Amino acid sequence: MMAVTRPGGRSARVRAEVMAATLRALAEDGYGGLTVDRIADLAGVNKTTIYRRWTDLDGLLTELLADLAARAVPIPDTGDLDLDLHRLAGLIGGVLTDPSIAALVTGLVAAATRSPEAAATLRGFILGRAGAGSVVFTRAAARGDIPADTDPIHAIEALVGPYYLRLLLTGEPLDAALAARTATAVATAARAGAFRPAPSH
């Protein structure tokens, strides 16, 4: 009896191949060199398959970033704020120095100016990552290491901000020196109450 291949199985395989090919093309060519023809060639599919499913490059990149946002990232939990922040900063640098992810984020920043869907996905990616990392400050507050009313989202924004500044604007390295300096500064600021709510007048 002949085996029957389910369309859903083939569709999932094609999708996975196209996503992998897009990451590879981003790593090798950057966003500026990214084309549907290049992705189709790497994935071994017809470019009409890509256009039919994703409409254009922005649609494909939006879905790819949504996939990456859904992946769990291990958040340090050593019981020490300084060590947690140093490790978390290193993780952030590791993600954003991946050539494919760096090209994807910078590409979607450009796409966000013309695509509300791309803008929403990029915002969701950044806020989702910030929300996950903010637990470091929530735990520190529960231990009494920093003020109990520390705003964890504002604190994590201070940690990730320098990375996006360098990635998107200055081009300076996302290196260990940046991780150490930023983690130390944010830990010091958190202990000093810099991320507490502003007093109401």
Q: Is 144 exposed, middle or buried (0-12, 13-18, 19+ CB in 10 A)?
A: exposed
Cα 63 off chain centre by: 13
For the CA atoms of 45, 47, 52, 55, what is the dihedral angle to 10 degrees? Answer: 130
For the CA atoms of 137, 138, 142, 143, what is the dihedral angle to 10 degrees? Answer: -30
Which segments in the chain show pLDDT lower than 50?
1-7
Show the domains of the chain with their CATH numbers: 7-54 (1.10.10.60), 76-191 (1.10.357.10)
Q: Which residues contact 101 (CB under 8 A, 6 or more apart)?
A: 68, 95
Distances in whole angstroms, Cα of residue 65 to Cα of each of 95, 126, 155, 199:
13, 10, 24, 38
Check residue 201 and give its pLDDT.
60
The tokens for 84 are 């947690």
Check residue 6 and give its pLDDT.
42
The tokens for 129 are 């990552």
Check residue 72 and give its pLDDT.
62
Check residue 146 and give its pLDDT.
98
Q: Which residues contact 68 (CB under 8 A, 6 or more apart)?
A: 101, 104, 125
For the CA atoms of 117, 120, 122, 128, what is the dihedral angle to 10 degrees? Answer: -140
pTM for the whole thing? 0.78
